Amino acid sequence: MPRALSGEEVEGMIAKFGDGVRRAILAGFDGVEIHGANTYLIQQFYSPNSNQRDDEWGGSRDNRARFPLAVLDITHKMARQYADDAFIIGYRFSPEEMEVPGIRFDDTMYLLEKLAARGVDYLHFSVGATLRPSIVDTSDPTPLIEKYCAMRSDTLAQVPVMGVGGVVNAADAEQGLDHGYDLIAVGRACIAYPDWASRIAAGEELELFIDSTQREALHIPEPLWRFSLVEAMIRDMSMGDAKFKPGDVC
Tell me the CA distances in angstroms from 158 to 84, 174, 175, 228, one per residue in order: 22, 21, 21, 36
- Is 148 marked active-site? no
Residue type, 46: Y
Residue type, 127: V
Check: CB of residue 190 under 8 Å from CB of residue 212.
no
Distance CA 17, CA 74 (A): 8
Q: Report the alpha-carbon angle 68-69-71, nearest 5.
A: 65
Rg, C-alpha atoms of the chain:
20
Distance CA 147, CA 167 (A): 20
User: At a CB cut-off of 8 Å and minimum separation 6, what does 28 contact?
Assistant: none
- Residues annotated as part of the active site: 40
